[in-house]
Amino acid sequence: MSAFLDISHIDMTFPTPKGEFTALKDVNLQIKKGEFISLIGHSGCGKSTVLNVVAGLHQATSGGVILNKKEVKQPGPERAVVFQNHSLLPWLSAYQNVELAVKQVFGNSKSKAETKEWIEHNLKLVHMDHAMDKRPDEISGGMKQRVGIARALAMEPEVLLMDEPFGALDALTRAHMQDSLMEIQNELNNTVIMITHDVDEAVLLSDKIVMMTNGPAATVGEILEVNLPRPRNRLALAEDSEYNRLRSAVLTFLYEKQRKVEVIPTAAKTEAKNSEDDSAAASA
């Protein structure tokens, strides 16, 4: 049986002033309908690039994406995106930002009252009903991110693409959003691809964790199946041996197999370098 979402042999090369940069090389991923996939990998490896290709915002240099037997060539309302940096229209209120997306997807098929109820329902899900009439510059980063999530959910997309959706949230709100997302996905059976840097979040939410190698020419390194029964409870899982095995498999991939050595100058070294520069300048 062919996959519902088939990411096949994707290469992505960007032109840069120093020549071509190959971000992705031969990325392959087959996703079933209703599956929850997390993409995890070090910063800069190419996670957002993969998501943007699936969203239809970037065209792969070679290879392609087939969704439900149709090739993805451009963005479409059946694929809602929650961006890494919230992307609300600044002149519209939270309510109006969600309304715009709802009208785009449902047209006139919902009555005025139904539309209002649906927008409010989705803002309530992300605990933003108290601030629906505020504009983006009047709310915090985490609140903007929650409106972005409400907007995506309100579109009832077949595929939900989320780029670090909970990164800007405090721990409690984050836990609440993770639980709501699990409930919503269980109810609507959306197919989800979520980028995250959080190992616990990946294990808690996913059916599969797709771990990417470091770039350039990043690709899928390993795929970890998460067969923990649902509904999942974060407190019960903390003691669960299978949960802890999966968690340590992801950590091993990130910090042993794909260890990334970044040289960050320490304060002492920077000071020494500055005083060398000073004495060089003095003696010049």
Ligand X SMILES: Nc1ncnc2c1ncn2[C@@H]1O[C@H](COP(=O)(O)OP(=O)(O)OP(=O)(O)O)[C@@H](O)[C@H]1O
Residues from 65 through 124 that contact ligand X (CB under 6 A): 84
Shortest CB 212 distance to ligand X, Å: 7
Long-range (24+ apart) CB contacts under 8 A made by 84-89 are: 84/48, 84/163, 84/164, 84/167, 84/195, 86/136, 86/141, 86/144, 86/145, 86/147, 86/148, 86/168, 87/148, 88/136, 88/144, 88/147, 88/148, 88/151, 89/136
Cβ nearer to Mg ion, comparing 128 with 218: 218
Question: Which of the choices Mg ion, ligand X, none does residue 204 contact, using the CB cut-off of 5 to 8 A by kind?
Answer: none
Closer CB to ligand X, 14 or 91, in the complex: 14
Q: Cα(219)–Cα(25) distance, rounded to whole angstroms?
A: 6
Residues 6+ apart with CB under 8 A from 121: none
Q: Give the HSE-up count for residue 273: Cα atoms under 13 Å, Cβ half-sphere.
A: 6
- By beta-carbon proximity to Mg ion, the closer residue of 34 and 221 is 221
14 is a site residue for ligand X (CB under 6 A): yes
Q: Show the tokens assigned to 34.
A: 């209703």
Min dist. Cβ of residue 260 to ligand X (A): 11
Integer Cα distance of 154 and 137 in angstroms: 22
The footprint of ligand X on this chain (CB under 6 A) covers a number of residues equal to 14
C-alpha 203, offset from chain centre: 14
- In this structure, the number of other CB atoms found within 10 A of the CB of residue 243 comes to 19
Q: How far apart are CA 52 and CA 42, in angstroms?
A: 17
Of Mg ion, ligand X, none, which one sits near residue 49, judging by CB under 5 to 8 A according to partner kind? ligand X
From the list ligand X, Mg ion, none, which binds 191 (C-beta under 5 to 8 Å, kind-based)?
none
- Tell me whether residue 156 or residue 163 sits nearer to ligand X (CB atom): 163
Residues 26-65 that bind ligand X (CB under 6 A): 41, 43-49
CB of 51 to ligand X, least distance (A): 8
Residue 46 site contact among ligand X, Mg ion, none (CB < 5 to 8 Å, cut-off depends on kind)? ligand X
Give the one entry of ligand X, Mg ion, none that residue 136 binds, where binding means its C-beta sits below a cut-off of 5 to 8 angstroms depending on kind.
Answer: none
| Binding-residue total with Mg ion (CB under 5 A) | 1
- From residue 13, give the alpha-carbon distance in Å to each of 48, 58, 187, 214: 14, 11, 38, 15
Taking the least distance from each CB to Mg ion, the nearer of 48 and 258 is 48
Using CB atoms within 10 A of its CB, is residue 278 exposed (0-12), middle (13-18) or buried (19+)?
A: exposed
Exactly one of 56, 136, 157, 215 binds ligand X (CB under 6 A); that residue is 215
CB of 58 to ligand X, least distance (A): 8
Among 25, 45, 48, 212, binds Mg ion (CB under 5 A): 48
Q: How far is the CB of 57 from ligand X (least distance, A)?
A: 11
> For residues 194 and 37, is the Cβ–Cβ distance under 8 A?
yes
- The span of 41-49, 142-150, 246-254, 274-282 binding Mg ion (CB under 5 A) equals 41-49
- List of residues contacting ligand X (CB under 6 A): 14, 16, 21, 23, 41, 43-49, 84, 215
Q: Which residues bind Mg ion (CB under 5 A)?
A: 48
